[in-house]
Amino acid sequence: MNPIAVRPLFSASRLRSVASASSTARSAIRSTRRTLVTPTNPVKATVSNVTSEHVREDPGELEGGESLANEGESGKEMFGFKLNPVATKTGGHAKSAGRPIYLDMQATTPMDPRVLDKMLPYFTEQYGNPHSRTHAYGWEAESAVDEARQEVASLVGASAKDIVFTSGATESNNMIIKGIAKFHQAKRKHIITTQTEHKCVLDSCRWLSTQGFEITYLPVLPNGLISLSDLKAALRPDTSLVSIMAVNNEIGVIQPLKDISDTIKAYAKENGTQKALFHTDAAQAVGKIEIDVEKMGIDAMSISGHKIYGPKGVGAAYVRRRPRVRLEPLIHGGGQERGLRSGTVPAPLVVGLGEACRIANREMAADHKRVTELSERLINGITKEVDHIVRNGDVKGYPGCVNLSFAYVEGESLLMALKDIALSSGSACTSASLEPSYVLRALGAAEDMAHSSLRFGIGRFTTEAEIDLVVERIIGVVTRLREMSPLWEMVQEGIDISKIEWSQ
């Protein structure tokens, strides 16, 4: 039988022609984004800045002015324009026309390409179960998980044995809060938290209140910080747990973790009682600000992978071993993760979390400096041109989370008008609700100001060009919406609308 001749699909000259045409087309696209360079080796991964000559005013407009509405079914319709899929190429990353500017880093962060590069082998070649102790496939996966555990621990100043892998911060919060409460319920059934915690913490405490536990919800000061005197007054001999968030996900306020821990210890010493355990939800803090569980006296802590440029679906819980923090597990099974969280550890995701923590540990200072500069550029640019703006939260909070309220403008109208910018008016977990943010209400914000708030999330890959465009769009939209508002007209005429008696 004669062998079958296999013809190449493209000749060498044809391939060169296609490559040349693709290169020409790509160079025609002017990007304003910081390019993520995807390598074949994580050591060679880089992040480069790309300048631009032109920034489109409308995300639904192509370079030549043609509307994206005429494009094919390449994306889903959203507020009158289509989102095109991301176009990728070897050695780089470019976004198609029509993608909004992303400023919602508290909801999630884009995965760093160095993280993805580290993960890929564990989806394909090194796919062993890390709990299989009888062959090389299991050993190599176990080794990778151990390395990731050490990277997470190093980022927060912990021992690797203190780290328990979970599906994310929500599971970690549930596991720690409910687990500690249930373990100590025979003698101590009092828990302290704050009114501005994440919904998963508040809902865990709400569930415990139906099980006979007493919950104290501490108020916060107008800047979002707790009062240490209020905390001391709330502590009781039967308090088993104090849970206070490190960095708030809506206003970026940074709570004084060391002072909180010292207050708890001082109360126990003065009253001769057992010290209450201190837990912090650090999903928005780890990798962004310095966290050292030993120096800060933290007993338990929750970590999320997708908040630090890692994969979704993975997180970690820090649970102190010495002195030991005792808790009842929520998930029972094979006894993995010290028996606190049974189930097969997802090695690829854990490897990604470990790499994200390694990068954050190395680049945290540079990231923080750059985010601070972009934050100041955003705030100064907007407040220079627009009056009657309130910044919610402590000005010394995390700079990558900026929450502004615009008087005499309705928040939903703002978001609808800013369809070319991915923003939110609060937590992603409560974004479906039309109620004003409970966090802003806890600060004492009036309902109209709480309704008119926008949260700007700035991150590692945000560019100056994007910030400048956002400033320009915010100024234009707020000005236009106020011109349509009768309340703004009254304010311009010098009328104090707070003293007006409105009829039903």
Q: Report the distance separating Cα 162 and Cα 337, nearest Å.
A: 10
Asked whether 313 and 167 are in contact (CB, 8 A), the reply is: yes
Asked whether 364 and 372 are in contact (CB, 8 A), the reply is: no
Q: Report the distance separating Cα 364 and Cα 370, nearest Å.
A: 10
Q: What share of the chain is helix, strand, coil (3-state, %, to 5)?
A: 40, 15, 45
Asked whether 169 and 281 are in contact (CB, 8 A), the reply is: yes
Q: Calculate the CA 437 to chain-centre distance.
A: 17
Catalytic residue (choose from 200, 205, 357, 429): 429
How far from 446 is each of 224, 425, 436, 439, 441, CA to CA, in Å?
15, 15, 10, 12, 7
Q: Report the distance separating Cα 227 and Cα 231, nearest Å.
A: 6
293 phi, psi to nearest 5 deg: -65, -30
- In the residue annotation, 429 being an active-site residue is answered as yes
Q: Report the distance separating Cα 333 and Cα 91, nearest Å.
A: 43
Task: Classify residue 65 as left (phi > 0), alpha (psi -120 to 50) or beta.
Answer: left
**Where in the sequence numbering do the catalytic residues fall?**
429
